[in-house]
A and B are shown apart, each in its own frame.
Chain A
Amino acid sequence: MGRPLLTVTVMALTTKSASKPASDKRTSGKRTSGKPAPEPTRPKRYPPSLPALLWRSTVGKKTVLAVTGLIMVGYLVAHLVGNIKIFFGAEEFNSYGHWLRTLGGPVLHYEWALWMIRVVLVAAVVLHGVTAYQLSRRDIAARPVAYVHKRRRASYATRTMRWGGVILGLFVVWHILDLTTLTVNENARTGHPYENTVATFSTWYGNTIYITAMLALGLHLRHGFWSAVQTLGAASPARERALRVVTDTSALVLTGGFISIPVAVMTGVVN
């Protein structure tokens, strides 16, 4: 009678002691002295819902990172096409700015469409930043001890994704304060985007911040666009070459296109 009871107690004790501290040890890079690693804790609902499944997995989080990145690339293309109108004079550029506010009318009220776009963009930026931060934390923790023999790994664009992303995030804040809310733009007037843009690019710091950020954007896209397609599983050996060409071209066109505007103001082409 006593023996089976004892066995049960011992088993219960061993399972309890084996399951908890082992996982902490493993993340700190130490060996779990002979004990078998714990079974993964199963999610409460199995299979979990699609958002839960994506958010819990590194591959799923990368998917969120990729999709939000591509949304922002799509926005940048539209943004560049709009910005290029500055080369056709103040009237065309300012009337384009006004049209953006009346977009979707008369069904949509003044600026409604613009606010919808802004909500999507803010969601994309926040999700992109949060997933990048969480994945980076995890990636750094997965290599707790560095190699003594240092060797340069991966390309410059790949290695600068994290800090390049931080630079772009800070730039977006400045860019909105400068040309949307006009908070930091001296001599700015609401409803005159052409004149405000010229005012920004007439200062040395405006040009420096903008051009630095656009170079960071080019680098970020050079790895990011290709990487997003890879993450979404759309890459294949047959498409690899075309994908590289599209990535490099879009990075160059977007960077060059955006930089052309401060250069035009500096050289007097736009004034």
Chain B
Amino acid sequence: MKVTLRVWRQPGPDATGEMVSYEVEDATPEMSFLEVLDTLNERLILTGDEPVAFDHDCREGICGACGVVINGQAHGPERTTACQLHMRSFADGDVIDVEPWRAAAFPVVKDLVVDRSAFDRIIGAGGYITAPTGSAPDAHATPVPKPAAETAFEHAECIGCGACVAACPNGSAMLFTAAKVVHLGALPQGAPERESRVLDMIGRMDDEGFGGCTNTGECAVACPKGIPLQAISSLNREFLRAARKSA
């Protein structure tokens, strides 16, 4: 199948960028979207042009490294990561727009690569437990009720890809922050730092220049891991509880 890719090309962080059209004629329906970019890059290298820079690592949808906005949707039309999106989701002759995540807190490094270290700093502000836990504990050494374990696991699925920020009209990181706060808050290990965690993580999130939540729900629709929108309500509840207790 033949597709036309219109890709955002930007040589560096401070350079001006533009959309550049490329035709890829040898794409096949079973190719992943990133393989089409690889195919394009091979050709660009052979002709002496600069290949398109994009982030990727595991290519099996579990690491969160890849992520581009395809036709205005974070990770494209399927609810998965860009690496697990296949060309069968497109038709022969399609024109596909490929853009980087757009957010003040995610500055463009080059082409489709953005700097997502703001996420690392949010986690660094409290998205962990400080108790030394040693090696993996014995099963049931710390009893965790089944519903709590389910909640924790559901929210621990976040891979930090940043699709929520890219999809949100306000470039908000609420769903990402909520996933970690709800994950750790559901477990007994997370209880001692329950208040400081949510206050520090939200403080850092605001400092990084992410927007606020207007409950549009775009984040949860874009999330490849299905973090529910309700997580944000839980985050708000945790914040208000912590604010009451610590102020």
Contact = CB atoms under 8 A, between A and B. Distances in A.
Interface of A: 26-33, 37, 40, 47-50, 52-54, 56-63, 135, 138-151, 153-154, 158, 161, 223, 226-227, 230-237, 240
Interface in B196-247: 199, 202-218, 228, 230, 232-241, 243-244, 246-247
In the A-B complex, the 10 residue pairs with the closest CB atoms: A233-B237, A142-B211, A151-B72, A31-B13, A139-B170, A50-B247, A142-B171, A58-B212, A154-B216, A149-B97
Interface stretch (B24-32, B45-53, B102-110, B132-140): B102-110
B11 interface: no
A50 B233 contact: no
A234 B234 CA distance: 8
Listed residue (B105, B167, B233) with the most chain A CB atoms within 10 angstroms of its CB: B233
B240 A232 contact: yes
Contacts of B105: 26, 142
Contacts of B238: 233
B236 A231 contact: yes
Interface stretch (B56-64, B79-87, B113-121, B183-191): B113-121
Contact of B104 (A61, A62, A143): A143
10 contacts: A47-B199, A58-B205, A138-B212, A139-B172, A142-B105, A143-B104, A143-B171, A147-B72, A158-B214, A230-B236
A234 B233 contact: yes
A50 B245 CA distance: 9
A148 B8 CA distance: 9
Nearest to A151: B72
Contacts of B203: 40, 57
A141 to B, nearest CB: 6
B233 A230 contact: yes
A50 B247 CA distance: 5
A78 B170 CA distance: 35
A33 B15 CA distance: 13
A160 B228 CA distance: 24
Contacts of B73: 151
A37 B72 contact: no
Given A154-B218, A233-B240, A40 B207 contact: yes
B91 interface: no
A249 to B, nearest CB: 19
B40 interface: no
Interface of B: 6, 8, 13-14, 19, 69, 71-73, 97, 99, 102-105, 107-109, 115, 117-118, 121, 167, 169-172, 199, 202-218, 228, 230, 232-241, 243-244, 246-247
Contacts of A52: 247
Contacts of B172: 139, 142
Nearest to B204: A40
A238 B213 CA distance: 22
A144 B205 CA distance: 17
Contacts of B218: 153-154
Contact of A29 (B8, B107, B167, B208): B107
A164 to B, nearest CB: 13
Given A62-B212, A153-B216, A148 B247 contact: no
Given A26-B105, A147-B72, A233-B238, A53 B216 contact: no
Contact of B247 (A32, A53, A237): A53
B72 A149 contact: yes
Given A40-B207, A53-B246, A139-B171, 4 more contacts: A27-B104, A139-B211, A154-B216, A235-B230
A154 B108 CA distance: 25
A160 to B, nearest CB: 12
B217 A59 contact: no
B96 to A, nearest CB: 9
Contacts of A151: 71-73
Given A40-B203, A139-B169, A227 B104 contact: no
A158 B216 contact: yes
Contacts of A29: 104, 107-108
B215 A226 contact: yes
Given A48-B247, A146-B102, A30 B239 contact: no
A133 B218 CA distance: 21
A115 to B, nearest CB: 31
A63 to B, nearest CB: 6
Nearest to B170: A139
Contacts of A150: 72
Nearest to B215: A227
Given A139-B214, A147-B99, A147-B102, A233 B230 contact: no
A47 B237 CA distance: 18
